[in-house]
Homo-oligomer: A and B are copies of this chain.
Amino acid sequence: MENKSEGCVKLVGFWVSPFVNRVRWALKLKGIEYEYIEEDIFNRTSLLSELNPVYGKVPVLVHNGKPLPESFIILEYIDEIWDHNPLLPFDPYERAQVRFWAKFSEEKLLGSAWLALCSEGEKQERAVKLSIEALEKIEQILKGKIFFGGDKIGYLDLIIGFISYMLPAWEDVASVKILDPLKFPAIAAWTDNFMNHEVIKGEYLPSKAEMIRYFRWRREELIPVFASYQL
């Protein structure tokens, strides 16, 4: 799809990447038409090493031939290029707060929950504990709100969105409980709001069965890799 305002937009992704979904959602929220290119990251072509030579990872947004990796950075770029339906708030202090919590959730929640998926025993217990501590802080900032920024979905919702559909699969695969809805009522209500938002509802998501099959395999592969990693 090419037109004057949008230019040529492509997204290189992988079906089960939570980082890719953030970009899909952002493009959909902005109403941007794009070509989606699925790249099998375990059997890759040369595409990713050409478009993202530093990391070789998805997602990569390609806008008018110029490649851009890293979901956080892509979302800021999308918001700067297409400024309707803003993802970040207008006020600089609020923007800074959103960036702060995005970084926090990436490091403390996604990082710990991923380790809980890919570990066993005491290490897993510690990773679950750290994930829950991160959720406690997120519960506080979400209390009384429909979305993180208020009434409208935005940047932080997209960054944290993975907990609404992917975290339950991780919990099942790893036989742990991280997001207890009784303990985190604001987050539980938000996951409903998020999943029922028309843009999120209308976008591709892998089924829970597909995710469970995939992450069961990843867990087995990564347990020995993470075994030497100290929390």
Contact = CB atoms under 8 A, between A and B. Distances in A.
A106 to B, nearest CB: 11
A68 B81 contact: no
Interface of A: 54, 63, 66, 68-70, 72-74, 76-77, 80-81, 92-93, 95-96, 99-100, 103-104, 137, 228-230
Contacts of A72: 99, 103
Contacts of A92: 77, 80-81
A18 to B, nearest CB: 18
A100 B80 contact: no
A77 B96 contact: yes
Give the dominant DSSP class at A's interface: helix
Report, nearest first, the 6 A-B pairs whose CB atoms are least far apart.
A80-B92, A228-B230, A77-B96, A73-B99, A73-B96, A81-B92
A77 B229 CA distance: 35
18 contacts: A54-B100, A54-B104, A54-B137, A63-B93, A66-B93, A68-B100, A69-B100, A70-B99, A72-B103, A73-B99, A73-B103, A76-B96, A77-B92, A77-B95, A81-B92, A228-B230, A229-B230, A230-B230
A24 to B, nearest CB: 18
Contacts of A95: 76-77, 80
A137 B54 CA distance: 8
Given A70-B100, A73-B99, A81-B92, 18 more contacts: A54-B100, A54-B104, A54-B137, A63-B93, A68-B96, A68-B100, A69-B100, A70-B103, A72-B99, A73-B96, A73-B100, A74-B96, A76-B95, A76-B96, A76-B99, A80-B92, A229-B229, A229-B230
